[in-house]
Structure 1
Amino acid sequence: MRSKRLQTDCLKQFMVVGGWMLFLSMMIGGASFAKDPSVVPADKNAEGWIALFNGTDTSGWEMFGDATEWTVKEGILENVGTGGGWLGTVATFGDFDLIVEWQVSKGGNSGIFFRAGTEDVPWVDGFESQIDEDDTHNPTGSIYNHLAAKKVPSPDEQWNTTEIHAEGPSIVVKVNGQEVVNGQDESFTHGRIGLQMHDNNSTVRFRKVWIRPLGLKSLYNGKDFTGWKVRIPKDRKVEIKVEDGAIRIQGGPGYVESQEDYGDFHARFRIKTLPKDNSSSNSGIFIRGPRFPGDDYVGWPEGLEAQVFNQNGDFITGGWYHFMKASGVYAQDEEWFWMDINAVENRYQSWVNGMPAATWVDPENRFIKGIIGLQAHDPKSVIFYSGAELVELAPHKKLN
């Protein structure tokens, strides 16, 4: 039988070890909880999720109405009672999955707009998923004045989550994990995502705004150049071939062009670059470029270029070359990364590894429709492209 002293010593050791384990568990759990919710993890990005809010500022959004005092602090987007208005994405989306984490003040009112236009208020010229715990006719989650939601708890002054699945006329909404809407409405097919500031008495906060565009179809079969044309100058040493399921581009100038022309779309590419002379390999994804007949022009493709260059410089990966720099370096050489491109009318946005990289609105609307070109830039650059996917989009309009 153990002595009382031995039992006491064992108990103390257990409490010390247990205390440290609890402390470490809290630290690990806390670190996990403290991760910036605006950042899309690599596994989710590989599934197609991208962030609409970067956790830092309102890049990629436009302000409408009187509510202009949107601020970002510690990764939270906030508006404190500055009147009616909304933030709308520059990008346009059609079918998608959307996740938004939000919080409103006591008695507060807000909403999440989707497939919204800007010709009228977005709950008329688009869909609104309501945020209002006290609204008896359109409780939180309702598609305002279209599809009423089943009421579930969504407490004011606490973080809540709305999930929206919009595919064709089908709309499914979940609030805090519970399905509250499952219906059909074909009034709108394309438009912006929006966050509402309803009135002077409400405070609204958002911290996680992720979207996954749906309906993308593969442009590249992973085997050969079906659907593409390789364009290489006769006097240049350029090698473009399929290797281990990817398009391998070495040398330049030259490019691979799509056989189809595209205007409004959301596209997604999987890319890897190799280092080059203490720098990075250089390439670019050209969109809405002209198609030259025969071999009249074989150099670099033309059109609007989303840069591929993983080094600090004037234009790095995700930047719109000559027009808008990327907000940061989100990819590195020798590692596969994803680039998303959204182009509708004269508005362009890019994402790299799920993070918003560059947004540009062309005041001259100079690029309308054309090829997608994968650039061979220079003799020493080596680039791999795989996983090219695209869904065609359309400008916003009301159907009925």
Structure 2
Amino acid sequence: MTSRRSFARAVTRRAAVVVFSAAFVLSLPGCGEIGNSTAPVRQSAADGSSANSDANPRSDRPATASRDRRPRKNPESVDEEFRARPLKQLSPQQLDEGWVELFDGQTLFGWESANPSVNWRVEDGAIVAEAGGPGLLTTFVACADFELQCDVRLERGGNSGIFLRTPARPRNPSVDCYEWNLCDSHDAFPTASLVGRRAVHGVRIEDDRWHTCRIRFQGPHLKAWIDGRLVTDFREAAQSAGFLRRGFIGLQQNRGRVAFRRIFLKPLGTRPLLPEHGLEGWRIVPGSRSRFSIEDGTLAIDGGPGYLQTKGRWADFALQLEAFVDGARLNSGVFFRALAGTQDAPANGYEVQIHNGFYDGDRSRPVDAGTGAIFRRTVARWVVPDDRQWFHLTLIAVGDRFGVWVEGFPVTMWQDGRPDDPNPRRGRRLQSGHLILQGHDPTTHVRFRRMRIADWSVPESAVGAQRRND
């Protein structure tokens, strides 16, 4: 949450549903024939499109002529459809390694469908579909370099696949996505092939049985395993017209019943942000009252208000860190795509909230939006961490879409639909900006460690070809 000086400016955001639609057809032979139509799986989020949204971040006066001065705050809870208690599918070791859940095992939170005819749903802890295809179920946020793991089960004669770095509406898998096929009966591109790019023969998966698939995609190099056996090893020239740097991950139903479960993701290519000692690479924002120190790679922030800003800037990225709140219901935050902090405007950026409080023993009703919310824009659907315990947090920001995971559990998925503005408090900012860590007030005692980031921005020379995949 922002400092007390700016708390009165918090704006009301009604709980909303982000709705997306698409219609697409894929023409190459193979599992890539994608169905048509438009109805999506809905996403829970808070609406950030108000015209009054923080137009003057140093004043509580609305941006418009409205004289409505009623108190404003975040919504207190998310839609009932997406309320879910974390199942803790990941081990402590997996959390330390950076894994997050793409599928919470209970709801379709964080997924979208562009073909309403496909009957995607959750049954017995798995995402399943068997009719209405071809069609994709895609992640809410795009990814660049990652490792993906999931279990898949396909009925006899079934046809499915996993789409990588794909747009919402792929049309040609040799150009606008990477389609990793799951179809033993396909003549040209059977199981483990990349449709339109690389045929693999001799790999079969037993019908009506769970198989563990793992895909590692870093830069132009893709490797995939089924049940521990390496089945795909593909490297594309980074300069080729078909090379894509990022995009969504999609599950396909083409023919027959398919089920996916235990769908996990680990961002790759992260680099550390915290030195072992000192504040190299960081800048204390003028006017800060917090005390900042780093010892053995752990950053301590005590007191406040105060702000510590990176010297580096990032636009699209995956950020991972561990945090520790040393007190009951204390407040902090991680700002991103922020303008350089000044004494008068110390933290003009998007903010991932850190506040582990919740109302009446109900973790689905967070205090001050809750840890993992995009403060002023969304509310976390579950307060996962406890005070005085280390917890893991992951933020993926690509384009105007943001996803946040706490202890590997997805708590926020939000798309900024506001008009563009250089200041994220007033509107959508797609350009790079700083990270800023917050000491909220004199009671703040928070620690950060193992903070690391992967730059997923697309080089300027490739922006035009890549834009359709975001």
The answer, yes or no, to whether TM exceeds 0.5 is yes
- Cα deviation for residue 398 of structure 1 reads 4.9
Gap change, CA 1:55 and 1:122, over 3 Å in 2: farther
1:117 to 155, 162, 167: 167
CA deviation string 1:319-352 (max 9, x = no partner): 1112121121221122211111111110000111
Q: In structure 2, what is the equivalent of residue 81 of structure 1?
A: 131
Separation in 1, partners of 2:187, 2:118: 29
The amino acid of 2:374's aligned partner reads W
- Cα deviation for residue 244 of structure 1 reads 4.5
The aligned runs of 1:320-399 (5 Å cut-off) are: 320-364=374-418, 366-368=428-430, 369-394=432-457, 398=465
Q: In structure 2, what is the equivalent of residue 197 of structure 1?
A: 253
Structure 1 segments, 4+ long, off by >6 Å, are: none
The amino acid of 1:351's aligned partner reads W
CA deviation string 1:112-149 (max 9, x = no partner): 01111134337352001111122233221111121222
Unaligned runs of 5+ in 1: 1-35
Does structure 1 residue 106 correspond to structure 2 residue 156? yes
Separation in 1, partners of 2:163, 2:95: 23
State whether residues 141 and 402 of structure 2, in contact with CA within 8 Å, keep that contact through their aligned partners in structure 1: yes
- Cα deviation for residue 271 of structure 1 reads 0.8
Gap change, CA 1:53 and 1:267, over 3 Å in 2: same
- Cα deviation for residue 297 of structure 1 reads 2.1
Gap change, CA 1:38 and 1:120, over 3 Å in 2: farther
State whether residues 118 and 134 of structure 2, in contact with CA within 8 Å, keep that contact through their aligned partners in structure 1: no
- Cα deviation for residue 56 of structure 1 reads 1.5
- Cα deviation for residue 66 of structure 1 reads 4.1
2:344 to 288, 293, 297: 297
Separation in 2, partners of 1:192, 1:392: 16
Q: In structure 2, what is the equivalent of residue 24 of structure 1?
A: none
**Over aligned residues, Cα RMSD in angstroms?**
2.1
The amino acid of 1:393's aligned partner reads W
Separation in 2, partners of 1:123, 1:394: 22
Greater percentage in strand: 1
3-state DSSP of counterpart to 1:252: coil
Q: In structure 2, what is the equivalent of residue 230 of structure 1?
A: 284
Q: In structure 1, what is the equivalent of residue 144 of structure 2?
A: 94
CA deviation string 1:11-35 (max 9, x = no partner): xxxxxxxxxxxxxxxxxxxxxxxxx
- Cα deviation for residue 373 of structure 1 reads 0.7
The amino acid of 1:345's aligned partner reads G
- Cα deviation for residue 231 of structure 1 reads 2.2
Unaligned runs of 5+ in 2: 1-85, 238-242, 359-365, 421-427
Q: In structure 1, what is the equivalent of residue 208 of structure 2?
A: 157
3-state DSSP of counterpart to 2:440: strand
Does structure 1 residue 166 correspond to structure 2 residue 217? yes
Q: In structure 1, what is the equivalent of residue 355 of structure 2?
A: 309
The amino acid of 2:246's aligned partner reads H
State whether residues 38 and 55 of structure 1, in contact with CA within 8 Å, keep that contact through their aligned partners in structure 2: no
Q: In structure 2, what is the equivalent of residue 3 of structure 1?
A: none
Identity of aligned residues (%): 28
Separation in 1, partners of 2:208, 2:464: 35
Q: In structure 1, what is the equivalent of residue 198 of structure 2?
A: 147
Does structure 1 residue 127 correspond to structure 2 residue 178? yes
Total equivalences in the alignment: 354
Gap change, CA 1:184 and 1:213, over 3 Å in 2: same
1:264 to 304, 316, 331: 316
1:250 to 279, 297, 302: 302
CA deviation string 1:222-250 (max 9, x = no partner): 2111111112526x4x2222245311111
State whether residues 64 and 87 of structure 1, in contact with CA within 8 Å, keep that contact through their aligned partners in structure 2: yes
Separation in 2, partners of 1:166, 1:63: 23
- Cα deviation for residue 176 of structure 1 reads 1.7
State whether residues 266 and 340 of structure 1, in contact with CA within 8 Å, keep that contact through their aligned partners in structure 2: yes
State whether residues 231 and 257 of structure 1, in contact with CA within 8 Å, keep that contact through their aligned partners in structure 2: yes
Q: In structure 1, what is the equivalent of residue 97 of structure 2?
A: 47
State whether residues 117 and 397 of structure 1, in contact with CA within 8 Å, keep that contact through their aligned partners in structure 2: no
